[in-house]
Chain A
Amino acid sequence: MTDVGTLKKFRAKIIDMAVRSGSAHIAPAFSCLEIVYTLYTKIMRVNPKNPRWEDRDRFILSKGHGGLAQYVVLAHLGFFSNSLLDGYAQPGSMLGGHVTLGASGIEASTGSLGHGLAMGEGVAYAAKYDKKSHRAFVVMSDGECQEGSTWEAIMGASSFKLDNLVAVVDHNHVQSCGPIKDVLPSFDPLSDKWRAFGWAVREVKDGHNVKELESILKEVPFEKGKPSVVIAHTVKGKGVSFMENVPIWHYRVTNPEETKQAYKELGQEVAIDK
């Protein structure tokens, strides 16, 4: 199956999981799906058969509410079985509404924004100290670039010259209450801010284009002695027309009619009314 086909299948599965559990952040998962997929399948050194392999690259989904994207990719790679996905956020499940340690392949518990980058910084620092070649990849939301703690970590990581740390900002331009430009007009220019804090910055125009993501991410570190950040422009709710750029889909779950429509757009024949 092509990447595009696989990703459509993932989106349908995410809707299926959301409907089964009755609670999910669908649109935030859709906006970072290609980023997570590209990192896991084309960039990072990971081994599903040996998930705690010492030299693996570490992945932290700092925007823990996008966990559905990570879960479908981990299942796809065989970190755990697809059946685990079906129980998402239901009693007894290891997979929750925010990424939590437990299931194979999960490196960190997240959920509160602005925590992941500092953890990635510590992981990268330890790798340098131990003279190891593994890297720390942290996928963040643009919303969490409003957290002061994020900027503490940004300043720290560049001060410590952690060029084995890579942040990818899922810049979908929409936060929980509306477009970022309306909520916090001073948010942009985002790239300039990271650059001013000592990071090597690249922008990805289409954060849903796997080839574009891959070609840029393959180049990390962008500069020796500097941590790398990719600002990937994405669309919140990407892939389902009525979800795209509509803030309510930050946390809303589809009703049966919407579910049917979403499956149709994704070209999937997944059973509905579960």
Chain B
Amino acid sequence: MNKTKTHEPLFHIAKRDSLPVYKSWAIRGMAILAALIVAGVITMLLTGENPIQVYATMFKGAFGTSRRIWSLLQSLAMLLCVALAVTPAFKMRFWNIGAEGQVLIGGLATAACMITLGNKMPNALLILVMIAASMAAAAIWALIPAFFKAKFNTNETLFTLMMNYVAIQLVSYFEKLWENPKGSSNIGIINQSTHAGWLPTIGKFDYLLNIIVVLALAVFMYIYLKYSKHGYELTVVGESENTARYIGLNVKKVIMRTMILSGAICGIAGLLLVGGTNHTITTTTAGGRGFTAIMVSWLAKFNPIIMILTAFLITFLQAGAGEISTVFGLNESFSDIITGIIIFFIIGCEFFINYKLHFRSSHKEVK
């Protein structure tokens, strides 16, 4: 059998056994380095700027002043919050790409409480109502596609995606209803003079509360997925629905329960964005986080603690990108190119962590 001459390809791909941790992180580190070099070369070719200076500017844009660090941590927290929200759904293989809309609905509920109940009840009570309303509204928004998936096996990708557009239209309807001045479709800062319904600030740090809440959520999500019965059940449903059914799990219940959780956390993101940060709502309040969060979650392989790192990477790139366009007068699209290259390399390197390339060697053929 050895003697039959078979054509051996130049290389073939084989799945690896799991790599030791230090090796896989070394591969990731090399990927980032390679990405920086490629992005640097492209920067030089396209713009003639010194790439080292470009990177230094990015770094300064993200960390240049203590205000920028706070701002970075705030953006990181908001992105992480949405990433944590989509994680249980994705782990269950439920493709929830409706986080954008769920965040908006949570924010809309928050804004509704602030506008209609502001200055009519004690502030502490109002904030409690806001928390309940935002989580409930977003949970219901997420439950709708989950219900149809569980009962009628509808396609959740399309369903959740379309729910985003419904949410955006709802927000623009309420923008019109609550507009000030007349005809402008602009809400402006809600309760700017009385601060009714504004989440409290810790000391003089505007964003500290948001950051602490999201960190607590990350820890909660880690424990929930890793050690709770619910976490185990949704993992099984994700791995194989038939197995789940075989061991007696109520799959429909797990799907709906998980999406309620996913939606409720999106609601918290909406609450923090509207009640704790912007104090207004527009159709861009979610700002694409609902989609970016999916990448954050996937890159971290659904591990909430690793997500802090992946969310950091992406917010760092975004913060740096803004500074590049300010300092070098380059269009924002250019920083998108750099971000794209870096993310491409990071996603690409996962291939080399999971698979091995075997090259054809002449030595084998002799045998």
Are chains A and B native binding partners rather than an unrelated pairing? no
| Residues of chain B whose beta carbon lies under 8 Å from any beta carbon of chain A | none
